[in-house]
Amino acid sequence: MRSSTPEHWQKFWEEADTLDLDDVYGTDGRLVREITGLGDLTGKRVLEVGAGTGRDAVALARAGAEVLTLDYVPGSLGLTIKAAGLSGVTVSPVCGDGTGSPFADNTFDVVFHQGLLEHFRDPLPMLRDNIRILKPGGTLVVDVPQTFHYYTLGKRFLIVINKWFAGWETEFTIDELENLVEAEGLTVTRSYGDWMVPGLWYRAVRKIILTRTGKKLPMHPEPVPFLARLGGKWRQLFARTRLSLYTTPTIGVVARKDGPSPMPEV
């Protein structure tokens, strides 16, 4: 069972650089919503660990934050630079390892990452470094795959046959994620989940059709009105329950480091 390497991820992001990123699904803004919901970001120092395409970093820079991105391969950082340039904002890329970042203690108001923690067999070195570079009262946002979802079954099968794009990967329940960060001294202030709209089945089918035929289905198809009303009402009610966090493909926690908050409340 293979593990991801810097060479693997460099190739992955080089291939991503050839795509029209406006035609690639992102995080649907959920991390940006969680972070902007903390308060006014003007002048706040924010770090994204694992730069990805840079979309979230750019959105936070637009909101007034001083944003840095950290990644251990230049391919991802290049996408961030491109995205920032197209948006007319400044995002500072830094090449380095998230388990031992090149930043001083108590540097950032917010540290966040998504789709990253699950790639570590031992997540503690990275979490501890995240906490080290957070200011007292600062916030860590961690976004990961959720265990009890059909996505996990498909992913695990592909890992077993050595076909999963990211090599080895795990997932978390909301209890596991909360306990993990609380054991390191953080206080969880909010837990959330995201069902993704459109769902994973549509996204997967759309990608297969695009790859094999070149034909693009709509990224966000028009919903069937009756089903949209029924589903929307059900989702709103169910989303208020703890149980919903055991059904979404992704989950996250917003956790605070002890100390006076550097973020003025909204």
pLDDT single digits (tens) 101-141:
999 999 999 999 999 999 999 999 999 999 999 999 999 99
Domain containing residue 60: CATH number: 3.40.50.150
Residue 127 lies in a domain: yes
Residue 217 lies in a domain: no
Higher pLDDT, 4 or 142: 142
Dump the DSSP string for 127-187: HHHHHHHEEEEEEEEEEEEBSSSHHHHHHHHHHHTT--TTSS---B-HHHHHHHHHTTT-E
**Pick from 112, 244, 255, 125: which is nearest to 173 by CA?**
244
**pLDDT, position 218:** 67
**pLDDT, position 18:** 54
**pLDDT, position 5:** 74
- Number of domains the chain contains: 1
pTM for the model stands at 0.85
Confidence of residue 41 (pLDDT cuts 50, 70, 90): very high
Domain of residue 151: give its range: 6-198+245-256
Residue 240 lies in a domain: no
Residue 60 lies in a domain: yes
Give the pLDDT mean for 57-82.
Answer: 93
Residue 116 lies in a domain: yes
Residue 107 lies in a domain: yes
Residues 6+ apart with CB under 8 A from 60: 32, 35, 36, 41, 46, 48, 67
**Does residue 80 have a pLDDT over 80?**
yes
Residue 33 lies in a domain: yes
Residue 222 lies in a domain: no
